[in-house]
Amino acid sequence: MEGFIIIVSGFSGAGKGTLMKNLLEKYPEDYALSISATSRKPRVGEKHGVEYFFIDRANFEDMIKKNQLLEYAEYVGNYYGTPRRYVENQLSMGKNVILEIEMQGAMKIKRNMPDTKIINIFVSTVDAVTLYGRLVGRGTESIDVIKKRMDRAVEESGIMEEYDYLIINDDLETATTQLHDIILNERNGQAELNEAARIASNKEFINDMKIKLLSFSKGELQ
C-alpha cells in the first residue's frame, strides 16, 4: 500500500523540528521525513543532508527551472523547497512521508499530488509569549529577524483553520504521542478518534492566539 503525506506546519519557534525528530526516533519504521532544500546558511550544529540540503540561491533557482521541487517558497529572504524524487520514492515503498513546510507549500503539494492522501497538521506553542521566548532562546537570530518571524506568525494564525488538526507543543512527549495517534488513526480508518485534535474542536484557542499574536506584534503584550 502506498504511503501518504503528512504536512506539518506551524509558527517558527513552535518546535516542529524537535517534534519531527522525536517522532522518527520513536517510530523509525513508520515514517520518512522529507529533507527540505534551502538557500539559507546552516545554523550552528546543522549538517547538509540532515536538517536541510543547503544549496546556494543560484542552484536553488536552477532546481526550480528543472521542476525538481514539489513546492517551494521564499520566507524571510531565503528559499525553502521539497525535492520531488525523494518523496515519490518513499511513498512508493509504503512510507508515510512527513513534510515540514509552510501553508503556501502545502497548497502546492495538494495541486501537484492530487491522487495522494494528505493530512495537514498545524503546530503551535501554548501562547504568544512562549513563542517569542523560544525564538529569543535559540540565540541564532537578530531581534529584527525575530520581529519578522512574529509578524509572520500573525499572518499564519489567520490560516490555521485551513488545516485538519492542531497540536499544541507544550510538552514534547505528549505532542509526539498525539501526532503519532492522529496519523495511526487516519491510516486505520478511525479518524473519528481524533476529534479532540481537529481544528473545528479548537476554535476558541485559535481565536485567542490570533488576538494575542496581533497584540504582541503591536507591542501591547509583553
Annotation-wise, does 45 bind a ligand?
no
Could you identify the residue written with the cell 497540536? 167
In a domain, 69, yes or no: no
Annotation-wise, does 105 bind a ligand?
no
In a domain, 67, yes or no: no
Annotation-wise, does 14 bind a ligand?
yes
Annotation-wise, does 15 bind a ligand?
yes
In a domain, 167, yes or no: yes
CB within 8 Å of 70: residues ≥ 6 apart: 81, 82, 83, 84, 87, 108, 109, 112, 113
Could you identify the residue written with the cell 503525506? 5
Annotation-wise, does 203 bind a ligand?
no
CA dist list (Å): 164 to 51, 66, 86, 99, 196: 26, 32, 25, 15, 11
Give the domain range for residue 117: 5-33+96-217
Q: Report pLDDT for 74.
A: 87
Q: Report pLDDT for 220.
A: 65
For 206-215, how does the pLDDT look when each residue is reduced to its tens digit (9 = 90+)? 999 999 998 8
Residue type at 45?
A: G
Give the integer Cα–Cα distance in Å for 154 and 52: 26
In a domain, 141, yes or no: yes
User: How many domains does the chain fold into?
Assistant: 1
Annotation-wise, does 137 bind a ligand?
no
Q: Report pLDDT for 222.
A: 52
Q: Report pLDDT for 107.
A: 80
Which residue numbers in the chain have pLDDT < 70? 1, 220-222
Q: Report pLDDT for 38.
A: 95
For 157-169, how does the pLDDT look when each residue is reduced to its tens digit (9 = 90+)? 999 999 999 999 9
Annotation-wise, does 205 bind a ligand?
no
Annotation-wise, does 10 bind a ligand?
yes
Looking up residue 126, the CATH number of its domain turns out to be: 3.40.50.300
